[in-house]
Amino acid sequence: MIKIIAKSIQILKSLQYPTGLFGASKISVTTGYNRAWLRDNVYEALGFEAVKSFKNVIKTYRALLNILLKHEDKIDSAIKEKPNAAFKYIHARYDPLTLNEIWEEWGNKQNDAIGAILFKIGDLEEKGIKIIRNKNDLRILQKLVHYLASIEYWHDKDNGMWEENEEIHASSVGACVAGLKKISKIVDVPKELIKKGQEILNKLLPRESETKEVDLALLSLIYPYNVVNKKQRDQILKNVEEKLVRKKGVIRYIGDKYYNVNGEAEWTSGLPWLAIIYKQLNKPDKYAHYMRKTIEVMNDEGELPELYFAKASKYNENCPLGWAQALFLVMMSE
């Protein structure tokens, strides 16, 4: 087991560029997953945090702050006037070396990524891990709060975690609520801004959105955000386990068309995600079950692919998926 953990740390390190940013997958992939997503970087850094490699964690978050500072004019414009087009939102993907936006037609409105950054920077600072360097970092964090107010995140139709159709997503609203709560100890956050999000979240749950009753993205509201009550949490887990768990992973939602061959693709990240949650809930049998399933779907190199094709042993090119590899390390940590 120690060998598998050491290998996973090595795999995750191989995805980190000199800037501190992670590619979503290997540099050599042809899918575009060699680029850096804001959200993926937050999730990938969880792996280094789990193994107490705080130097790498700090490097990643400071790189994310550098991206935001580089594109501060865009944030200012969005604060001044609510964006009326997707390209006016804070971008989701960047070149991991130049920190430039990757622009093409894309599901670019991803409010949960902003909530994720606020949440983890607030969380890490609370734990005594110093991310914030100076007044410039504080200024940009404060502007992210103003940005979420300007876009009216609580009822803003975004593309969500899966970068697909625009609707109000519980996983996006919840990420912003969690982020605003955490960062409120560092910068000014109006209580009303949190309250509006919490009210909408409670109305949406246990659904993810108008079109999706159950969605893998809802697990984020339990871990890492811990922004649901016991009843909501239990219902999310019940729905995900009964409707989405498959042999080699967890489908994102019923009817998912992405890499759909004879059925919805099975995402490996869902297995360690469930294991982490059950470990935190002190349910060792459930934890062990999902831990075993996670190890079973690793390839011979110890990598966790993004997904397996439905009912098959074949996986797609995005291997390893940094996000899944990081969740494995969280799952295995104390």
- pLDDT tens-digit readout, 259-273: 999 999 999 999 999
Q: What is the DSSP letter of 279?
A: H
Extract the tokens encoding 170.
């519980």
At 281 the pLDDT is 98
CA–CA dist 12, 326 (Å, integer): 7
C-alpha pair distances (Å), 319 with each of 33, 122, 159, 257 = 10, 31, 24, 19
Q: Which domain CATH number covers 206?
A: 1.50.10.10
C-alpha pair distances (Å), 231 with each of 173, 205, 222, 236, 252 = 18, 10, 12, 9, 22
Q: How far is it between the farthest Cα atoms of the chain?
A: 53
At 68 the pLDDT is 98
Number of domains the chain contains: 1
CA–CA dist 268, 277 (Å, integer): 15
Structural domain of 130: 2-332
* 70-111 pLDDT, tens digit each: 999 999 999 999 999 999 999 999 999 999 998 777 788 999
Helix extents (H) in 28-110: 38-50, 54-70, 72-80
H or E element: which one contains 2? helix 2-14
Q: Which of 239, 219, 321, 235 is nearest to 280 (CA)?
A: 219
At 2 the pLDDT is 86
At 106 the pLDDT is 75
Q: Which residue has the tokens 């899918």?
A: 31
Tell how strand 93-94 and strand 36-37 pair up.
antiparallel
At 334 the pLDDT is 64
Tell how strand 266-267 and strand 307-308 pair up.
antiparallel
CA angle 120, 126, 127 (to 5 degrees): 90
Q: Which of 249, 308, 329 is nearest to 43 (CA)?
A: 329
| Spans of the chain, pLDDT less than 70 | 334
Q: What is the dihedral of CA 218, 224, 228, 229, to 10 degrees?
A: 130
CA–CA dist 286, 304 (Å, integer): 20
At 21 the pLDDT is 98
